[in-house]
Amino acid sequence: MAAQMLFLSLMLFITLGDIQAHVVPYDHSFTHECLVKPLGPQYGGGIVVNPELKQGLKGWTKVGHAKIEHRTSNDGNNYIVASVYGNRTSTLQNFHLEADKLYAFSAWIQVSHGNAYIKASFKTQTEDESVAGWVAGQQGCWSMLKGGIVVNASGPAQLYFETDENPTSDIWITSVSLQPFTQEEWKSHQDQSVEKVRKGKVKFQVVDERDRPVSNATVSIKQTQPQFPLGNVMNERILENPAYAKWFTSRFKYTVFENELKWTTTEHDRRGSVNYTLPDAMLNFTKSHGLIARGHTVLWGIREGNPKWLANFTIDNREELWEVANSRVNSVMNRYKEQFIHWDVVNENMHWTWLEDILGENASTTFYKKANEIDPKTLLFLNEYDTIEKSSEKIPSPWKYLLKIRELRKQGYNGHLGIGLQSHFVGMSLPYIRASIDVLNSAKLPIWVTELDVANNTGALRQAEDLEQILRELHAHEAVQGIMMWSGWNLHGACFRMCLTDDNFKNLATGDIVDKIIAEWSYATGVQGTTKSDGYFDTSLFYGEYEANINHHKLPGNSILQKFKVVPYMKAQDVVLFKISV
């Protein structure tokens, strides 16, 4: 071996295909999804009879006093005009739904005059109502209502549309789709999406000194840094509990503080008595352990989320509230400028309007402007709950979220903005989760899941199973840029909603699921392959940083180590060549 020089060449190819950029660029514009002529059904109609109404009202029925009629526009578009009786249309179509299926729903909606917020729902024998989704209906243009449902029991169901904002307006409906998927079909789609948006194709080649392919070379691959952020909340207990710190830092690189940065903590007792001891210590901990943190939260839209000494503030204290709120923003934002990757600025300000009620309708926008002026490099977030968790909730629903973004822009906030989805689940509908994120993605803003947990209503094993399904669904969606769980450890299971360990940091079922997911996404057991006769070994890897070891029988006791990255775009070059002499 010493008498002969052998040259081995390792070439890494990143196959990009049509992958979208992993980091969505900040977009100050927002285009309302509204068309003069609707597109066809998203899933080809599915089990809907006569989805595009080319056969008049065949398959469509009515009951009660409401009316429906078929119309054809000058451009040949067919649609139903459904009058509203008691805020609801009469039933428009009957279905037989199955409990083991997942249903994706879509329809194009317009209203006869004005604007109205419209929901589509299914009435079943076992449930009063199963809401598929919501849409902002407008006169003169078509908007897509996109959602999904699951049902608790198989049986008949009737489709309705409903509004409580403009009950005198007729609802126009066309291109309706209800597509059933088996669990296997849904999982297959997730897997395909993960391959497309989270992975890159990697090709290795080993050749000798004459560029001849070398077969049977072993390529061993280890991930050193994942690209997709999966993190968890932590609290002050981690500062004095080495076991907590060890358990946490061995799993997570991203975090957020549970309560330590909130206004209620840093200025708790009285106005002007500001104390940053806890968040300072927490931030020092994250830095010393190489953790990346989100900032939660500057202000809160609900009165109870702010210090108790503000409890009696009313419109009569308007000027004083402006003064103390501005002081809070200036204080916390300047102290921690550029030390967090995100800031939740006015938490839950779609559900709660305490600040707007006292300070005026532009209050949130004013604070976002101020926060952006102080810390312009940090991404500022809206942060809401029940946007993807509950299809029945109108206030935080995806279209309302889009309207909130438009409101901020209209009121003059032009800085960077992110969509925060808290994701506190009590039950789940995977089709609704997917459709809701699709709708939100039309804003072309960064989307993060910020506080994920799952309630334990039906036992620990079911809680863990639901957590795994939700994690996989979120990870599979190209628009989700990171996931933060909300499972801060507390003694005796006193977590907010979901614990991952017991008091001795032994994993619960949910913790086992998290470890399983981390191991899968980070290739904890490594990836290994052997070059074929042409000297090539191909594989697909999650985006991130890696090390590759090349072993061959001509290199007894030796291996060749190379470091490389797999990213959505290789801007400098598409092929990286490693050439090593032995």
Supply φ then ψ for residue 281, to 5 degrees.
Answer: -65, -40
For 70-79, 246-255, 469-478, 568-577, which range has the lowest pLDDT when averaged over its residues? 568-577
Cα distance between residue 506 and residue 240, in whole Å: 18
From 52, 162, 258, 348, the catalytic residue: 348
CB proximity list for 145: less than 8 A, separation 6 or greater: 105, 106, 107, 108, 109, 118, 119, 120, 132, 133, 134, 135
For 176-190, 315-329, 351-365, 558-572, which range has the lowest pLDDT when averaged over its residues? 558-572
Supply φ then ψ for residue 436, to 5 degrees.
Answer: -65, -40
From 52, 162, 389, 451, the catalytic residue: 451
- The amino acid at residue 513 is I
Strand order in the sheet with 560-566: 527-530, 218-226, 544-551, 560-566
Neighbours of 212 (CB within 10 A): 8
**Contact in structure between 161 and 123 (CB atoms under 8 Å):** no
Cα distance between residue 137 and residue 160, in whole Å: 15
pLDDT at residue 86, as a whole number:
77
Can you say whether residue 373 is alpha, beta or left, with left for phi > 0 and alpha for psi between -120 and 50 degrees? alpha
Number of separate helices (H) and strands (E) present in the chain: 11, 28
pLDDT above 90 for 88? no
Distance of CA 529 to the CA centre of its chain: 34
pLDDT at residue 11, as a whole number:
44
State what percent of residues in the chain have pLDDT above 70.
91
pLDDT above 60 for 563? yes
| Per-residue confidence band for 207, with pLDDT thresholds at 50, 70 and 90 | confident
For 11-20, 292-301, 400-409, 564-573, which range has the lowest pLDDT when averaged over its residues? 11-20
| Per-residue confidence band for 8, with pLDDT thresholds at 50, 70 and 90 | very low
Query: Which segments of 393-476 are extended strands (E)?
Result: 417-421, 424-425, 447-454
Residue appearing with tokens 């190209």: 478
* Whether residue 297 has a cis bond before it, omega within 30° of 0: yes
Whether 451 is catalytic: yes
pLDDT at residue 559, as a whole number:
76
Q: Give the pair of three-digit tokens for residue 567.
A: 């990213």
pLDDT above 60 for 27? no
- Overall average pLDDT of the 36-52 stretch: 82
pLDDT at residue 167, as a whole number:
81
Digit-coded pLDDT (tens) for 521-540: 999 999 999 999 988 888 99
Cα distance between residue 554 and residue 7, in whole Å: 11
pTM comes to 0.92
Whether 348 is catalytic: yes
Cα distance between residue 462 and residue 460, in whole Å: 6
pLDDT above 70 for 577? no
| Per-residue confidence band for 553, with pLDDT thresholds at 50, 70 and 90 | confident
3-state SS, residue 464: helix
- The amino acid at residue 69 is E
